Structure 1
Amino acid sequence: MSLRDRIDAVEVRVAEACKRSGRDRDEIKIIAVTKYVSLETARAALDEGLHHIGENRWQDVKPKWEALHERGIWHFIGHLQTNKVKDIIGKFAYIHSLDRLSLAKELQKQAAALNMKVNCLIQVNVSGEDTKFGLAPEQLIAFAQEIKMLENLQIVGLMTMAPYEMAAEATRPVFRTLRELRDKLNELAVLPYRIEHLSMGMSNDFEIAIEEGATWVRLGSVLVGKDEA
C-alpha cells in the first residue's frame, strides 16, 4: 500500500470507531509515529497532511527535526531521561512521558530558564507490566498534587501503553481505566485546571482506544509503515 492508501484506510477505521462510540471525529488527533522511518518518509507524511509527528529518542529524531520542525507539531512519546531534557526542551510541543518527580523538576528548571511553559502528559502504567514505564494508577493523585505548583509545567492529559494483545478488545479495560483516572483528577480538582487529553492506542488497538475516549492515537506501522533496514 502507498502512504496515501494507508492514511485513507486509517481514516475510515477512525471514522467507524467514532460512529460506534458516538464521538465527533474532530475530537481525535492522529500522531504519526515516525521513529522507524526515514527523513524522506517523515517528510512525505507531512506532505500528505499529517500534522502531528511522534518520536521517542532525540539522537534519532535530530536530523528529522532539524529539517522539518517548522512543518509539524512534534510530540516526544518515549521514555525521557532527566539528562536529556536540555536536548528536547523547546523543540517538542508535547511531552507524553512525565512519570517521576525528578523529571518534572528538571523540566520545570529548563522551561523556567527559557521563560516558557511545557505541555506534559503524565504517563500511567495501567497494565502494571514490568517492561513499561509510568506511574502506578494509585500513585497518580499524589503525583499530581506534588507537581501542581511547578508553574512552567502545563499538564494537558494522561498517557498509557496497553499490552500487545492478539485480540484488541482485550485492551479495553486499560483504556477505560485511563479515562476514569483523568475524570477523577478533574472531579477532585487536583490540578488548578481541567485536563483533556488521553494519549492511548497504537496500530494494533487504536479503535478500542477511540471508543474509550482517546484524543490522541499514536500510529506507526499501520499509518507510515516501517522502512527496511
Structure 2
Amino acid sequence: MDGTEEEGYAAFLAERREEILQRIAEAAARAGRDPAEVSLLAVSKTVGVPQVDLAWRAGYRAFGENRPQELVRKLKGIAAYPEMAGARFDMIGHLQTNKVREVVGNVALVHSVSSTHLAEAISKRGVSHGVTSDVLLEVNVSGEESKSGFSPDEARTALEGILALPAMCVRGLMTMAPAHDTDAARRAFSGLRDLRDELAERGGLEFPILSCGMSDDFPIAVEEGSTIVRLGRTVFDPSYVLG
C-alpha cells in the first residue's frame, strides 16, 4: 500500500469497528445482556502483518489464526511493531497433534480442541514445557458431517477425563453454525449455551467462554450468549457488506 491507500484502509478499519461494536451492543440489548460481556476477535488469517498493525491502531487487541504456520509467521512479523507487544493471538482453526508445538505457549486461547487425543497432546506439550494452556472444547452442535468437533454426547462423556489432564484449563465451548441458515444458526448457538450450562452444573465448574458467531451470524450468536465472536471478512474486507 502507498501512503494514501494505507490511510484509506486505516479509516475503513476504524469505521467498520465502530459499526461492528454497535451491532454487538444492539444484539446484547435485545437479549438483556451487557455488551461488555462480548469480546471481538479479529480473524487475521487472510491479511498480512501490516494490515494487522493497522487493525491494532484502529482499536483491535485480539486476533485469531486458523493455521499454526501462519500464527508463527504473524508472531514473528509483529516483532517489528513494538506498539503491538500486547497483542493477543488465539488459535481458532483445526489443529493437528503434530502442530501442537507451534501453538502451545504462543496463544492466549485454543478454541478448537476437537478430540480427546488432541487434548492429550496439548497437555503433554504443556507439561514438558511448563506451560498451562487455556482451551475450549469444539462441539459440533449442528451435527454436520463437514464440521469437526465433539458431538454433544461425546463432550459429555469425554469431559471428566479432559478436565483431569495437567497443564490445561477448559474455559468453555466453541462451535460453528450452519452457513446461510438463520434458524439453524440460532439452534446451534442456543444448543451450545444449554450444553455449557449443563456441563458446568454437573461438574460444579464455571465455563465462562462461549466462542460462536462469525461474519454472517454474529448478532444471533450474541443474542444466544456468545462471549467471543470471531470476525474476519467483516473486519478486514471493504467489499463485505455488513448486513
Give the TM-score category using the shorter length: over 0.9
Alignment of 1:1-229 (within 5 A): 2-68=12-78, 70-165=85-180, 167-189=181-203, 193-225=205-237
C-alpha contact 2:69 2:102 (8 A) present in aligned 1: no
Q: Would you say the 8 A contact 1:123–1:158 is kept in 2?
A: yes
Q: Is the 8 Å Cα contact of residues 114 and 139 (structure 2) preserved in structure 1?
A: yes
Q: Secondary structure at the match of 1:71?
A: coil
Q: Distance in 1 between matches of 2:106 and 2:161?
A: 25
How far apart in 1 are the matches of 2:183 and 2:56?
A: 31
Unaligned runs of at least 5 residues, structure 2: 1-8, 79-83
Q: Matches of 1:152 and 1:46 in 2, distance apart?
A: 30
Q: CA offsets, 1:2-34, max 9 Å, x none?
A: 111211111111111011111001100000000
Q: Determine helix, strand or coil for the equivalent of 2:85.
A: helix
Give the match's secondary structure for 1:36: coil
- SS of corresponding position for 2:226: coil
Equivalent residues, number: 224
Residues 147-173 of structure 1: per-residue CA shift (max 9 Å, x gap): 1111211000100000111x5344111
Indicate conservation of the 8 Å contact 1:220/1:226, yes or no: no
Cα distance in 1 between the residues matched to 2:200 and 2:73: 39
Runs (4 or more) in structure 1 with deviation over 4 Å come to none
Q: Measure the CA separation in 2 of the matches of 1:169 and 1:28.
A: 21
Quote the Cα distance in structure 1 between the aligned partners of 2:183 and 2:39: 21
Distance (whole Å) between structure 2 residues aligned to residue 193 and residue 217 of structure 1: 23
User: Alpha-carbon deviations, 1:51-101, whole Å to 9, x = none?
Assistant: 110001022232211132733111100000000001111001100011111
**What's the TM-score once normalised by structure 2's chain length?**
0.88
Q: Distance in 1 between matches of 2:66 and 2:114?
A: 15
Larger of the two Rg values belongs to structure: 2
Query: What one-letter code is carried by the residue in structure 2 that aligns with 1:32?
Result: A
The amino acid of 2:18's aligned partner reads: D
Contiguous gaps of at least 5 residues in structure 1: none
Distance of aligned partners of 1:177 and 1:119 in 2 relative to their CA distance in 1, 3 Å threshold: same
